[in-house]
């Protein structure tokens, strides 16, 4: 019985770690018109497709953080007594994104709601990471030589390789005369041996 419980616990930990590697994080600050942080502001984040709902409250300086959000489209409601509520619609979060979205609150009646339907591109100013999401349309419409899905990575700025000019490199594990496309990628100057591939968050 102990072995079964241990296995279940290990499986739960691995599943949580896998989800954390693919989930997005939404952070930002709630301020008033003077630029001062507004504490204890309630944020409700709702996934448009699954209705998954997460709630958060801003800290003393007005900052908030909502981690572990599955990629998707979200509606966000911002509420604070004495201020007009804000409804921010169509916020798109990508895989492993750390997005920043700030809210400026206006003094007013709680029955008056500010509706924002279009969201600008979210900044990832809280991390130094560089990432690129390949959209479904690109995956389905672009031809892949040899059905090598790793070639899609070359759509990202600063990435080259995958059989075009990297065949038989020192760290590729292939022979110099092997002309088959490999999975060598050079991202922004990194060597191909520095790459790590995750499938649904699993190494």
Q: Measured between alpha carbons, how far is residue 134 from residues 42, 76, 140, 146, 165 in Å? A: 33, 25, 11, 19, 22
DSSP secondary structure of 16-83: HHHHHHH-EEEEEEEE-TTS-B-TT-EEEEEETTT--EEEEE--TTSEEEEEEEPSEEEEEEEE-TTB
The 10s digit of each residue's pLDDT in 77-131 is 999 999 999 999 999 998 888 999 999 999 998 788 899 887 666 656 666 567 7
pTM of the model: 0.68
* pLDDT for res 65: 96
Per-residue tokens: 112:
């008056």
Pairing of strands 63-69, 185-187: unpaired
* pLDDT for res 53: 97
Q: What is the mean pLDDT of the chain?
A: 80
CA dist 26 and 107 (Å) reads 24
CA dist 70 and 92 (Å) reads 10
Q: Return the higher-pLDDT residue of 87 and 192.
A: 87
């Amino acid at each position: 019985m102990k072995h079964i419980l241990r296995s279940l616990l290990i499986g739960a930990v691995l599943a949580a770690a896998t989800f954390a590697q693919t989930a997005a994080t939404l952070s930002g600050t709630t301020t008033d018109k003077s630029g001062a942080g507004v504490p204890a502001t309630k944020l409700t984040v709702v996934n448009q497709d699954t209705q998954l709902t997460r709630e958060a409250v801003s800290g003393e300086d007005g900052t908030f953080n909502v981690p572990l959000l599955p990629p998707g489209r979200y509606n966000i409601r911002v509420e604070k007594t004495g201020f007009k509520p804000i409804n921010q619609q169509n916020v798109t979060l990508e895989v492993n994104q750390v997005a920043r979205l700030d809210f400026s609150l206006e003094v007013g009646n709680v029955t008056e709601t500010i509706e924002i339907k279009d969201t600008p591109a979210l900044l990832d100013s809280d991390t130094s990471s560089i990432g690129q999401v390949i959209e479904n349309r690109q995956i389905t419409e672009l031809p892949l030589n040899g059905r090598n899905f790793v070639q899609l990575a070359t759509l990202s700025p600063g990435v080259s390789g995958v059989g075009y000019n990297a065949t038989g490199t020192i760290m590729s594990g292939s022979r110099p005369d092997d002309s088959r496309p490999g999975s060598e990628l050079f991202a922004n100057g990194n060597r191909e041996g520095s790459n790590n591939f995750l499938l649904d968050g699993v190494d």
